[in-house]
Chains A and B, each alone.
Chain A
Amino acid sequence: MKNRLKVLRAERDWSQADLAQRLEVSRQSVNAIETGKFDPSLPLAFKLARLFGRRIEEIFEDSEERVSELAG
């Protein structure tokens, strides 16, 4: 799943380790989510949304919705 984590993190000048510490997860987890290799659970997605002060859909892009938008 595509996301804007890297951009949001860069805006705050946070490293992956900084974000991992704030989320109480490992840096590997942040890396995997950021690169789209791992989709976080709803509780973690909400935690991210709270941390960045955004809605979940502003951080994560629903690829299926995007496909249907392009098709429509």
Chain B
Amino acid sequence: MSPRVSSPAMYRFEDRILFVVVPSIFLTLIMLISLSHFHVHPTRVWAVLCAIFVSSPVIAYILILGLYLSEEKDEFQRALLVQSILWGLGVTACAAFFWMVLGMYIQVPHMSFVSAVFLFFLVFTVSIWVTRWRYR
């Protein structure tokens, strides 16, 4: 049986991800690639605007998660989502600290913020699927 949950709040959550977060990720990538390709280096206000624009998918995702938590009437599904967020944050924090301490003693590549965000979303997504599968 599929572990998929189909509540109205979940449908809205999926729609928002599909129509807000996914296009904003594509737009961000297009902008970053274009800036790099045309060797444009924004300064002052443009640099700030670029930084806001690039961080918009993450901000949008967090806002959409918050909206889902406020709209979802099923308390068990809310608990599962919070549990998955905690897993994501916990694993990301542990990995970041581990990598930082490792970097103090041996030569390791710097862990970028982007890879930390990617790790959070990866663990969060896997955790959602695993918890839903457990209670299928």
Contacts and interface: CB of A to CB of B under 8 A. Distances in A.
Interface of A: 24-26, 28-29, 31-33, 37-38, 40-41, 44
Which A-B residue pairs are the 10 nearest by beta carbons? Answer: A29-B76, A25-B74, A28-B135, A32-B135, A26-B5, A26-B74, A38-B76, A41-B75, A32-B76, A29-B74
A57 to B, nearest CB: 20
Contacts of B73: 24-25
Interface of B: 3, 5-7, 73-77, 79, 132, 135-136
Contacts of B75: 25, 29, 40-41, 44
Contacts of B3: 28
A41 B76 CA distance: 9
Nearest to B7: A26
A19 B77 CA distance: 16
Nearest to B73: A24
Nearest to A38: B76
Interface centre among A24, A25, A28, A38 (most CB of B within 10 A): A28
Nearest to A37: B135
Given A26-B5, A32-B76, 12 more contacts: A25-B75, A26-B7, A26-B77, A28-B5, A28-B76, A28-B77, A28-B132, A28-B135, A29-B74, A29-B75, A40-B75, A40-B76
11 contacts: A25-B77, A28-B5, A28-B132, A28-B136, A29-B74, A31-B135, A33-B76, A38-B135, A40-B75, A41-B75, A44-B75
